[in-house]
Structure 1
Amino acid sequence: MAERRTGDNPDSSEADLLQIVPTAAPRGGGKGSSGGYDCELVELPPAAFQTACPVCHLFLREPHLISCCGQKICRQCLDPDNPEKTACKLCGEPEFTHLQDRGLERSMKELEARCTYKKEGCEWSGKLGELELHLNRGCDPENQPRECQFVGVACQYRCGEWFQRRHIAAHESKQCPKRPYTCDHCQTYKAVYDDVVQNHYSQCKKYPVACPNKCREFPFERHQLETHFQEECPLVQVVCPYQYAGCKAELVRKDVLQHIEVETSLHLTLLATVTESLVKTSQELRGNVGLVHELNVKQVSMMTECSSKHQQLEQAHGRALQELNRHIVQLTATADVLVKENKELREEKDREVRELMKKLSAAQEGIENLKEEVKTLKVDTVQHSEFPKEFRVKVTSIDMITPAFYTHPHGYRMCLRVCPKGVTGDETHVAVYAYLMQGPFDKHLHWPFMGDITVQLVNQAGDHGHVERVIRFTDKTPDRHSRRVKGKEVSESGWGKKYFLAHEDSLVQRPQGNPVSEKPPHCN
């Protein structure tokens, strides 16, 4: 579909007045698409011959037979790139195998099909196995291009628009606002089209502009406009050339000559007045010349007297300079002695600093060895951790935090928080939460953490009434509970059971009074 446009695109011409309407992104069936083939078959196969994928409902592409329900689905519909194995999308079976049905794949590729973009006008038909080559790129036996001209293609200049392949060249060369473009006035500035038109044109020195006074029809280059105002424009407001003589007339440049011819008598009168004033000034200047001569004579006399005094001062300065040089020689000798003593002191200090540096290096090496020994002791302590872990906590009305423990040798570091009065302090349930902590092996572990933590509250008053719950960290656990802890000792958010044990089911009596309990941060 095309429509007329009347924009101000400077590179448009009468032959370029058709604007191509953007289209959508390419549909399934092309190279890199997921699922099956999106097209029509020229002749449908028998009903007993399975051609459609029960997941994407398109014609099968690389069909695979799954073991759980015996269905055949597309390879991409199996989601083979997902590292986490998921259940069957048809029957929900968590464990199943699949095998590619190459015989069915060959049969599918031999079916006669029409182009995915038949409704847009493409008349291609051929084997289903050749559809992908047709939609993307390829040549026929005569080496002629035969890619589909109705496929949506993205503009190479990343303007965000999609066009049918048959229209993309016209868009990229004439319409794309981000296409490379050179200013057609100065022929030097190069950028994208939008930048040239919207930013550069307002500053280009060769951009055509009209005289604001409209003194002529054809425009100027922008850099010529100022000279035109100052020297040429006949409609610029100027003053009379005889303004210095007293004429106060203001008129446009084209009327200056006429004004001079008409007002000749006025200008002569003004000039006569100015001339008379100049003559009087000249006479006054002649009278002042004698005074200036007398002043010059007095100045010469004063200069002679000053010269004599200057010679006397020079002699005094010479004597003072000789005395100063004598003192400088004495100070130089003293300075040489001090420099020698300073050099000896520096060498002695350098020797002391080198000895201290050796001692410091030995001390640092000893500290590093101690750090390695401490780290080894920590690792040994962690490696001998065994399960199950048992923590004895005193039952009170405030929250209790267990000592830190590891899930396994070289594993995740964690702790438990027990809330006897619950999260909100409603005193109806005991809540238990697990918190991840910063550990020495975090950079070698997989994140986010996923696994099961079995927590058992043991009734020490008897052999019954024990309560056991499992806190599960899965891929659905919010990231703030299971991500790696950095920059602090323990995670701000715990994950666990808000209703771990009802108070009415507990065998432990609640303490008397209502002390204020500390609410665990971000318990969910």
Structure 2
Amino acid sequence: MDVSLLRSIASIIAGTISSEGIFKTTKLRIVPNVHSVVSTAMITSLPMMMSPTTTGRCVDPSLSPALISVVQLSNVIIIIDIHVADECPLTTINCDFHHVGCAVKLPRQDMLEHLRENLLTHISLLATSHAKQQAEITNLKAENDTLKRKHENFGHNYQYLEAENRRLKTKFEPMQQLLKTAPPIVKSRPLGPPVLTMTNFQQHKRDGDEWFSPPVYTHHQGYKISLKVYANGCSTGKGTHVSVGVYFMRGEFDDSLKWLFRGVISWQLLDQVNGKDHSTHTVPYSDKTPNTYCNRVTKGERSKNGRGLQKFIAHSELEPKYLRNDTLLFQIHKIELKK
């Protein structure tokens, strides 16, 4: 940058200061693009040559002290910041209490009078602001206390759960050891329709025919069975009772099952009034059971012989509890497999 240009600018500023007498400090900034290197100098009355990157002093003894920021770059824009923002008495400024709500704006030279005349107003604004801050502090303290209590409660709950976990672990350890040493128990859950519905009971009774329930599996990939019901009874129960028996059927998992079947199968005739007083019968299959009742079905759909009761329930006991809307409801109640 041309040193004579800097001197000319400084002289203009100095002339302005001496002629007007209102500027105490003048700032001169040379602003480039973003790739700038800044050096700062105080200009007084001692002569010294200035280069674009050197701090120096101006030759004009009439200059007042001024802060000059010199920035070197290819494209330089010179901006002179006048004292307006900080010192000019004509500059409109905010009231010193604007942060608490005073919205007055006046020239700097009139602001002192405003402060004197509105002392009580400003005190009231300060009091209001202080009250709001106190309320906020109170709310924050309350929230903090709530969080502290929650934290304490969490700690107590965690300790309680830890103690309860230890207690239960101690309680069930003997059971776990017992299960490890106990012989294997095969539990079975019947798979099939939860309720076996026999409709048109009176028609079956008049015709004296038999009704087979939908098939049920004793367990997953287990034995396939069904109930056979004589509405008018058979043999010793004919004409007076309902006869019911369990029949094995040809199943898709028969190859992987153990034959002869050993275990217990029970069924229920469901109470349709109270839902509590079901009529239940259990059929055991032991080593004494004839093979024809518990062997694998290789011919036809189901076995020729089934196990049950010829006098399962008397006709006189059916209504109103078990026979409703000409319908009986059966259920395979329980199955236990003997290994």
Q: TM-score, normalised by structure 1?
A: 0.23
Q: TM-score, normalised by structure 2?
A: 0.35
Q: Which has the higher strand share?
A: 2
Greater relative CO, 1 or 2 (CA 8 Å, sep 6+): 2
